Chains A and B, each alone.
Chain A
Amino acid sequence: MSILKRIFRAPQTTAVEASTVAGQAASRVSIDPQSLMKIRNLELRAKSVVDGFLNGIHRSPWHGFSVEFTDYRQYSPGDDVRYLDWKLFARQDRYYIKRFEDETNLRCYLVADLSASMEFGSLGFSKADYARTALATLGYYLSLQRDAVGLLTFDETIGEYLPPRYRPGHLRRVMLGLERATAGKRTDLAPPLQQISRLAQRRGLVVLASDLLAPIDDLQQQLGYLRSQGHEVLVWRILDPAEVNFEFSDAKMFEDMESGKRLFVDPVSVRKNYLDKFQQHSQQLSELCNQQGVDLQVMQTDRPLDEALLDYVKNRSRMQTPGHRRSNLSPPASGGRA
């Protein structure tokens, strides 16, 4: 079973079921990101999103996906007594340990880009806030399934690093690590990704949250590090609506938040040019991801987080359809999903 498939424990979902999931998502009441960001505690913020997300899908046919019971085995000293079946002991006067289909073996790395450009935000909160919340949400969700979650934050250097573990208190450290991380200066993806490829011996899932506002050539090399280790790579591209639409009106000095460079710009006159270049960059990025076998999900900060997650589920469901194949060796004929 694919790692991504196990994340959400999705059964064999048909296209019809996928559309049902989409319909369920549309009928749910999502939490407005601006309201969500007013919750100061990151863990509570993640819990709000996940609870809402689960409430939404509990009405779907997906209920019951969790760690599943398979069979019993004889108890031997050293086994965890928490898994003793006391009812069976009462009936047969013998100790049996319950065995489950899978015990935690997914290792997920949450990688957060906290460079200066991520501090931009036109909605009252920054892209970095949104990225923290999204990663915290995923971490919380995975920890509910007893998967190991690790953390790595970076700007031009590596900030926090926590190896993936599942043990009591670890999720709280991950949350604190995300909260503690402060904005850096420039973006440099190479060191963190090299670090992960060096440390992560077992295959796992790497979730990278970044705006990826960097030249395409650099990104190609950096994403290649991870795929070469066999990791499954999921990229959440966090973008502010102002960056996507560029709806400024007054001529002003625009200041690059990373380099500090200042440029006098009349937005009305340059908007078309900007949007063209932006689309071109996005297109190239999408192609690159497809080529590298990387899942790319664009998350605009004005969209509710649970909708973004459901979008991803929908795409993953479609990915599970027969005939779909992904590889970093043979790029697909058509463009990737964005």
Chain B
Amino acid sequence: MSFLAWVFALGALTIALPIVFHLVRPTPKGSQPFGSLMFLRQSPPRITKRNRIDNWLLLLLRSLVILLLVAAFMRPFVRTGGEIFVNDLPGNRVAVLIDTSSSMRRDGVWDEVRQALDKTLADLEPGDDVALFTFNQQLQTHVGFSEADVVDLASRKRMVNDQFALLSPTWFQTDLGNALASTADFVSELDESRRSETGLQIVLISDMQQGADLGGLQTYVWPEDVRVELCKVMPSSSSNAFARVLPEQSTTALDAGRRVRVTNAEDSETETFQVTWQNAAGKKDEASTTTFYVPPGTSQLLRVPDPLTDTAEALVMTGDQCDFDNQYFVTLPSTQEIPIAYFGNDLKDDATGSVFFLDRVIPKSKSRVVRVDQYSPTETQPWVDGITPRLAVVTAAISAPVAEKLDQWVQDGGLLLTILTDQEGLDSMQSLLPTFRKGESEIPEDEYLMFGEIDFAHPLFQALSGPRFNDFTNIRFWNRLELVLDETAQETQVVARFDDDSLALWQTPRGDGLVIGMASSWRPADSQLAMSTKFVPLITSLLGMTDRTKQMSASYLVGDPMQVPDDEQGWQVEDPQGRKLELLSGTGNRPIFEQPGIYQFRNGEREFLAAVNLDPTESQTAAVDSDRLESFDVRVGQQPSREELVGSLQKLKDRQLEQRQRIWKWLLLAVMGLLVVETLVAGRSSQTTIINEAAA
């Protein structure tokens, strides 16, 4: 006979209670104050202890009732099946999950990973299965779990060691949340019958840096039977800081130097750092060296002098003990001169003309200087300085040779903006715009038009599509040329219409280039466009359309996919190591940036540079505790040992036996029977007492 709940055996002590109650009578409570006790004497009953038990049979019956009740509460059962032994259990499934993010490149970390892995493998017991996973921004399986029923542990260990020898830290960021969730799914891929008996364990070997992304665990329901054993690996020195070049707050800022922020880690031990520019050859520009004093856990922002040469490619920081994130790569574009060819009869200082506004609308900045060159609309002239303009604006009727030259330029990829305000101008553009003819209606005097319908998806208006900016009702047009578009002109895209439904803005592709037409002008005599707040963004968007590399960002993070303008074919990429890669067209498996540095993109004569840097979260190297994982309901800890598992399984089996046998019911029946007997005996005993007292 065994019992499930031994703790109820303490209830047997209650046998003492009836005996104590039997022997002790309580002292009367309360007292009566009285003037004088001189006429009183003490009267029985006396306050004494009775030291004699009157009825042994009753005491025995009552004690037996209590004992049987206690036995029923202890849930007795008879163990019929065999016991469970350690060898009957299947082995544990252990997934070793190693962090290979860039923060693991710190000194001494990878050696500790090796030691942690060796210890984990040494702790495995016969029958255990082991798999090897690594993660950075993605999870990778290097050794999966065995499919066979009988696991050869020695060979599994050998496979893990062989695969680990091929591993090294990467430059990618850390997505710990998704890696843990995916590994938990791998570990728990078992039949329900086997899963209850198998210990599911993840051994996480990581530096547990503060910047690791745990967002993947927020929506993941952690399996209750999967435990995570945390092996935290620490570098030889935790002092780490990193520098970043920040973008200018204003495009018109002309201040000397660039804004640089240095951030020091919370557990850093140093506070003084130097920042300097370095060119591609590794030569430092000592003149630009700037010292930062940054206490741990804070950051400081200073201006670092511009590099003397345009060839500087990295900002290098010294002063901390972790070098992996001490370089910040930048592409320093030289000031770009953008020529605009203007074909019109007005002069730059004529405030009633168009070029007056065009020349002033784009301010000069560090990266861009816009130059408007005036050309005669009737005579062909060579391009100024021999530089092909990025944009041509025609506001007057041009001669046929000029039109022919512009047509050729557009077909080679130029962007032409033509302002059509009269029949003469339309006729001169006939070779470029053959599908347009003049309409008959005109705006009556004292009347005006406004933009009625605008295609905000067009690059011209895209920047103004927000609800705060898309109100064009303040711009009035007094003169416009009504144009009728032939039905055959399929390629022409209407960008905007006036509120009388006539054409206002349209675009027509021509060869590799584009012709954008406008049925009015921004001269003050024609409209309020030049005076409105919309003019600057419109012209800026127009210039943006001329930049064929505009889709390229100047700065990327390691892990970002490589992008080329318009998904064109023929682009070659040269990585910082000098390796070349051919980019295929299409949006399929686009290669990603695998390391920080300057990547060079080439396509024929066109080329641009891309600076690729580490994810800033990787520089947040202060270690966090396992509490952070537990806050996402991750079960941190080791699986119970085989002996503990056997104990818990045996308990489970005993509980099932007890529920099947239900011996406590029979004990309760016996208690009720004994209570009946006790009642009879007690009744007879009290009758005898009364008779004896009466006789006395």
| A contact residues vs B (CB 8 Å cutoff) | 117-118, 120, 127, 211, 213, 215, 240, 243, 248, 251-259, 261-266, 269-270, 273-274, 277-278, 281
B289 to chain A, nearest CB (A): 96
What DSSP secondary structure best describes chain B's contact surface? loop
Given contacts A253-B30, A264-B28, contact A240 B35 (CB under 8 A): yes
Cβ of A211: which chain B residues have Cβ within 8 Å of it?
35-36
Q: Are B35 and A270 within 8 A (Cβ)? A: no
Given contacts A256-B37, A261-B37, contact A266 B32 (CB under 8 A): no
In chain B, residues 36-78, which have Cβ atoms closer than 8 Å to a Cβ of chain A?
36-47
Verify if B34 is at the interface (C-beta below 8 Å from A): yes
Question: Which residue of B has the minimal Cβ distance to A258?
Answer: B36
| C-alpha spacing A120/B44, complex, angstroms | 25
Q: What are 19 A-B pairs at a CB distance below 8 A?
A: A117-B35, A213-B38, A243-B34, A252-B28, A252-B30, A252-B31, A253-B28, A254-B34, A255-B32, A257-B33, A257-B34, A262-B31, A263-B42, A264-B28, A266-B45, A270-B41, A274-B39, A274-B40, A277-B38
B26 to chain A, nearest CB (A): 13
List 9 other contacts, CB 8 Å, given A254-B31, A265-B41, A265-B42.
Answer: A213-B38, A243-B35, A251-B28, A251-B43, A253-B28, A254-B34, A259-B37, A270-B41, A274-B39
| C-alpha spacing A118/B34, complex, angstroms | 10
Which listed residue, A254, A273, A277, touches B32 by the CB 8 Å rule?
A: A254
Q: Are A278 and B40 within 8 A (Cβ)? A: no
Q: Are B32 and A270 within 8 A (Cβ)? A: no
In chain B, residues 157-216, which have Cβ atoms closer than 8 Å to a Cβ of chain A?
none
Given contacts A252-B30, A254-B32, contact A264 B47 (CB under 8 A): yes
Cβ of B34: which chain A residues have Cβ within 8 Å of it?
120, 243, 254-257
Cβ of A257: which chain B residues have Cβ within 8 Å of it?
33-36
Q: Are B39 and A254 within 8 A (Cβ)? A: no
Cβ of B33: which chain A residues have Cβ within 8 Å of it?
120, 254-255, 257
Q: Are A213 and B35 within 8 A (Cβ)? A: yes
B40 to chain A, nearest CB (A): 6
| C-alpha spacing A248/B35, complex, angstroms | 14
Nearest first, the 5 closest Cβ-Cβ pairs linking A and B are: A120-B35, A253-B31, A117-B35, A277-B39, A213-B36
Q: Are B40 and A254 within 8 A (Cβ)? A: yes
Size range of the chain B interface in the assembly: 10 to 19
Q: Are B39 and A251 within 8 A (Cβ)? A: no
| C-alpha spacing A259/B30, complex, angstroms | 18
Cβ of A248: which chain B residues have Cβ within 8 Å of it?
32
| Most chain B CB inside 10 Å of its own CB: which residue of A118, A248, A257 | A257
Cβ of A265: which chain B residues have Cβ within 8 Å of it?
40-43
Question: Which residue of B has the minimal Cβ distance to A270?
Answer: B43
B34 to chain A, nearest CB (A): 5
Question: Which residue of A has the minimal Cβ distance to B36?
Answer: A213
Question: Which residue of A has the minimal Cβ distance to B31?
Answer: A253
| C-alpha spacing A207/B45, complex, angstroms | 44
| C-alpha spacing A265/B34, complex, angstroms | 12
| C-alpha spacing A251/B41, complex, angstroms | 13
Q: Are A266 and B37 within 8 A (Cβ)? A: no
Question: Which residue of B has the minimal Cβ distance to A126?
Answer: B35
Question: Which residue of B has the minimal Cβ distance to A261?
Answer: B37
Given contacts A127-B35, A243-B35, A256-B34, contact A263 B28 (CB under 8 A): no
Question: Which residue of A has the minimal Cβ distance to B42?
Answer: A263
A13 to chain B, nearest CB (A): 37
| C-alpha spacing A265/B35, complex, angstroms | 14
| C-alpha spacing A248/B30, complex, angstroms | 14
Q: Are B39 and A281 within 8 A (Cβ)? A: yes
Question: Which residue of B has the minimal Cβ distance to A256?
Answer: B37
| Most chain A CB inside 10 Å of its own CB: which residue of B30, B33, B35, B41 | B35
A210 to chain B, nearest CB (A): 11
Q: Are A251 and B31 within 8 A (Cβ)? A: no
Which listed residue, B30, B39, B44, B47, touches A266 by the CB 8 Å rule?
A: B44
Cβ of A251: which chain B residues have Cβ within 8 Å of it?
28, 43, 45
B507 to chain A, nearest CB (A): 109
Query: What mask results when residues 15 to 38 of chain B are scored 1 for a CB within 8 Å of chain A, else 0?
Result: 000000000000010111111111
| C-alpha spacing A274/B39, complex, angstroms | 5
A119 to chain B, nearest CB (A): 8
Q: Are B43 and A269 within 8 A (Cβ)? A: yes
Cβ of A270: which chain B residues have Cβ within 8 Å of it?
40-41, 43
| C-alpha spacing A117/B37, complex, angstroms | 10
Which listed residue, B40, B44, B45, B46, touches A263 by the CB 8 Å rule?
A: B40
| C-alpha spacing A120/B32, complex, angstroms | 10
Cβ of B46: which chain A residues have Cβ within 8 Å of it?
264
Cβ of A253: which chain B residues have Cβ within 8 Å of it?
28, 30-32
| Most chain B CB inside 10 Å of its own CB: which residue of A120, A248, A264, A277 | A264
A107 to chain B, nearest CB (A): 31
B48 to chain A, nearest CB (A): 11
Q: Are A264 and B32 within 8 A (Cβ)? A: no
A240 to chain B, nearest CB (A): 7
Cβ of A127: which chain B residues have Cβ within 8 Å of it?
35
| C-alpha spacing A259/B36, complex, angstroms | 8
Cβ of A281: which chain B residues have Cβ within 8 Å of it?
38-39
| C-alpha spacing A118/B41, complex, angstroms | 21
| C-alpha spacing A278/B36, complex, angstroms | 11
| C-alpha spacing A118/B35, complex, angstroms | 7
Cβ of A254: which chain B residues have Cβ within 8 Å of it?
31-34, 37, 40
Cβ of A258: which chain B residues have Cβ within 8 Å of it?
35-36
B409 to chain A, nearest CB (A): 120
| C-alpha spacing A120/B35, complex, angstroms | 5
| C-alpha spacing A33/B477, complex, angstroms | 113
Cβ of A215: which chain B residues have Cβ within 8 Å of it?
38
| C-alpha spacing A263/B34, complex, angstroms | 11
Question: Which residue of A has the minimal Cβ distance to B47?
Answer: A264
Q: Are A256 and B41 within 8 A (Cβ)? A: no
| C-alpha spacing A265/B28, complex, angstroms | 11
Q: Are B39 and A256 within 8 A (Cβ)? A: no
Cβ of B38: which chain A residues have Cβ within 8 Å of it?
213, 215, 277, 281
Cβ of A243: which chain B residues have Cβ within 8 Å of it?
34-35
B673 to chain A, nearest CB (A): 40
Given contacts A265-B42, A270-B41, contact A117 B28 (CB under 8 A): no
B47 to chain A, nearest CB (A): 7
A197 to chain B, nearest CB (A): 26
B270 to chain A, nearest CB (A): 82
Cβ of A277: which chain B residues have Cβ within 8 Å of it?
38-39
Cβ of B39: which chain A residues have Cβ within 8 Å of it?
273-274, 277-278, 281
Cβ of B45: which chain A residues have Cβ within 8 Å of it?
251, 264, 266
Cβ of B28: which chain A residues have Cβ within 8 Å of it?
251-253, 264
Question: Which residue of B has the minimal Cβ distance to A118?
Answer: B35
| C-alpha spacing A55/B138, complex, angstroms | 114
Cβ of A274: which chain B residues have Cβ within 8 Å of it?
39-40
| Most chain B CB inside 10 Å of its own CB: which residue of A215, A248, A258 | A258
| Most chain A CB inside 10 Å of its own CB: which residue of B32, B34, B47 | B34
B31 to chain A, nearest CB (A): 4
| C-alpha spacing A257/B35, complex, angstroms | 5
| Most chain A CB inside 10 Å of its own CB: which residue of B31, B33, B36 | B36
| C-alpha spacing A266/B36, complex, angstroms | 16
B677 to chain A, nearest CB (A): 36
B46 to chain A, nearest CB (A): 8
A209 to chain B, nearest CB (A): 14
Which listed residue, B31, B43, B44, B47, touches A255 by the CB 8 Å rule?
A: B31
Cβ of A278: which chain B residues have Cβ within 8 Å of it?
39
| C-alpha spacing A258/B33, complex, angstroms | 10
| Most chain B CB inside 10 Å of its own CB: which residue of A213, A240, A254, A261 | A254
| C-alpha spacing A76/B166, complex, angstroms | 145
Cβ of B40: which chain A residues have Cβ within 8 Å of it?
254, 263, 265, 270, 274
Q: Are B37 and A263 within 8 A (Cβ)? A: yes
Question: Which residue of A has the minimal Cβ distance to B44?
Answer: A266
Cβ of B44: which chain A residues have Cβ within 8 Å of it?
266, 269
Q: Are A264 and B42 within 8 A (Cβ)? A: yes
Question: Which residue of A has the minimal Cβ distance to B41?
Answer: A270
